[in-house]
Structure formats: C-alpha cells, structure tokens
Amino acid sequence: MSALERRYRWLLAWYPKDHRAQHEEEMLDVLLAASSPGQKRPAWRDALDVLRGGLAIRLRRIVPTASRRRWRAATDLAALLAPLTLFGVSLSQATAYAGRSAFDLALPALAHALPYGLIALLAWLGRRRAAIACAWAMAALAAGMTTAELLSLPEGTIVAGDVLQVSGRPLIAASVLLSALPACMCAAMLTLTPSPGPGPVGSRRLAAWTGGVLAARLVGILLGGAFGVVLMPAALGAVAVMALRSSVGRRTTAVLTPFLLVAVRPSWFTDVAGLTAIAVATAALLGVTAWLARTAETA
C-alpha cells in the first residue's frame, strides 16, 4: 500500500462505517486515478472534499429529516423578519423625532426605514434576488455613510472607543462595524436562506403579528409615560409566547436572537472585540442553520 493510498484511507475514515463498506474502494479508486504520478500527499482540495462529504453524511444522520424541514421553515421566516425588524426600528426612530417636532431628524430616519420595507416586501413576494441585492446595497451604504461622516471630523477628534488613524483622520472602527453589522446580518440571512417567506406561519397571521407589534411600538412612543413603556413589551411578550409554543417558532427565535441583539440593543456592542465576537457567533449559527435548511430540500 502506497503512502498516498494510506493517507486517503485515513481521510475516508470520516465516513460512517456502513457507507465506507459500500463505497470506500470505489471512492479510493477515483481519488487515486485523479492523483499525479509520484504524488505522496492528497491534494488539499481532494482532502477538503472528502472531509466535507463525510461530515455532511454524519450530520444528516444526526439531524432527522423532519427536524431539517423545520429548520428550513425557521430560517425562511427569520430572513423575512430581519428586514421587518430594521424597518420597525427606523420607523420608531422617525416617529419619536416627529413626536418632538424634530422633523429634520425624522425625515432621514423615515428615508432609512423605507428601503427595508421594500426589502421585506420583495422577500415576501418571492423576489429573493432583488431583496438580496437591495439588502447588500443598504449594508454598503451604511458602512460608507458612517466612514464618510467619521473622516469628516477634524484631525485628533476622539468620540469614543478605539481610534484608528486612516489618512491622518480618526476613524472609529467600532462605529463603522456597528452601523453596518445589522444590515450585513440581514443581507446574509436573505442570501443563505433558500426561500425567505412566512412559511407555515402563514401570510395573514404573520401580517397580523407584525402589524400589532409595530402599532404597539408607535402608539407607545406617541403616548409616552408608563402606558407607553408597558405597551411594547406586552405586545412582544404575547408574540413570544405564541412563537415559543411551536418547534418552528423556537428555531426562529434561536436564529434571530444574535441579529435582534445588534439591531435593537446596539449600545451593548460599542467596541471592536464585542462586535467581532457577535459577528463570528452569528456567522457560525447562520452557516449551520443554512446547511440544515438547504439539505431539507433534498431530504
């Protein structure tokens, strides 16, 4: 047995035993036939393909078919709720400014909300590619506008956090990441999800929930006081109870949680380390859930 064959057999050990018993010799013949004369080590692409294939088969057996289908429904729903959340956050800001007669601030906030309303509508109507393109455009716009604003500050100005010198002017890296991260997360969810939409929840029910929460938020802002403070948590609590009662709802909550933390509570992430940690955790979560959702198509 050559050294190359020995190493390929070691890589094929990643496949389950029953699968190896049926296909090991066939896969080994294909790998050896594709190798160069005198080659002693597997090519990195071949090694990666073997490892990925073995891991995928093991994961498919760990996660049942029915569970993968529920994960697909959850990721589809979460990808639709992400732009709806950003739409609601920006619309709430516009309403708050308008309530204080600060219309010079309300109009930009409203202008920021409308594209996310369009993205959600496109995803709802099944225009996935258009929704993805608009979402990534908004992410690039958010990063570009924040960078331009920070670069316009006088040299030596320190706002908060870690300061990086770019072309002799201060650039707060955390501010750029914080402004672009929710939009990037939203775009990534739309990109990785097979078919963003209401799924088994149903269009009417999701529209009713969304309208109820948004109305509670806007009315609470306009009324203010103790009633305004209680109204929004009460609406969210009612929706959360209904969502957590179903398996798809619990999975949707898990997928959305990192995004909601960044989109609704950005003040919790004011430094590069915190933003990087939440970004890495979100990327790992989206990668796993997207794989589960996409394998459900052929399950």
pLDDT tens-digit readout, 170-213 = 556 666 666 788 888 899 999 988 888 887 777 788 888 788 78
Reply yes or no on whether the pLDDT at 161 is more than 50: no
Euclidean distance between the first and final Cα of the chain, in Å?
38
Reply yes or no on whether the pLDDT at 90 is more than 60: yes
Reply yes or no on whether the pLDDT at 273 is more than 60: yes
- Answer whether 293's CB lies under 8 Å from 75's CB: yes
Question: How does the average pLDDT of the chain come out, rounded?
Answer: 77
Cα distance between residue 92 and residue 220, in whole Å? 10
In this prediction, residue 168 has a pLDDT band, given cuts at 50, 70 and 90, of low
**What global pTM score does this model have?**
0.71
User: How confident is the model at residue 25, as a pLDDT?
Assistant: 75
User: How confident is the model at residue 175, as a pLDDT?
Assistant: 66
Whose CA is closest to 113, among 137, 132, 85?
A: 85
In this prediction, residue 131 has a pLDDT band, given cuts at 50, 70 and 90, of very high
Cα distance between residue 237 and residue 29, in whole Å? 58
- Answer whether 243's CB lies under 8 Å from 253's CB: yes
Token pair recorded at residue 172:
């707060």
Whose CA is closest to 193, among 75, 25, 80?
A: 75
Tokens 């496109």 sit on residue: 122
- Answer whether 31's CB lies under 8 Å from 23's CB: no
75: Cβ–Cβ under 8 A, 6 or more apart, which residues? 189, 192, 193, 194, 251, 255, 289, 290, 292, 293
Token pair recorded at residue 175:
């501010």
In this prediction, residue 299 has a pLDDT band, given cuts at 50, 70 and 90, of very low
| Cβ-defined contacts of 110-113 (< 8 Å, 24+) | 113/86, 113/87, 113/89
Most confidently predicted of 142-151, 164-173, 175-184, 251-260? 251-260
Instruction: Give the burial string for 41-68 (b: 16+ CB within 10 Å, else e).
Output: ebeeebbeebeebbeeeeebeebeeeeb
pLDDT (tens digit, 9 = 90+) per residue, 1-57? Answer: 677 777 777 777 767 777 667 777 777 777 777 777 777 777 777 778 877 777 777
Reply yes or no on whether the pLDDT at 84 is more than 80: yes
Average pLDDT of the segment spanning 116-130: 91
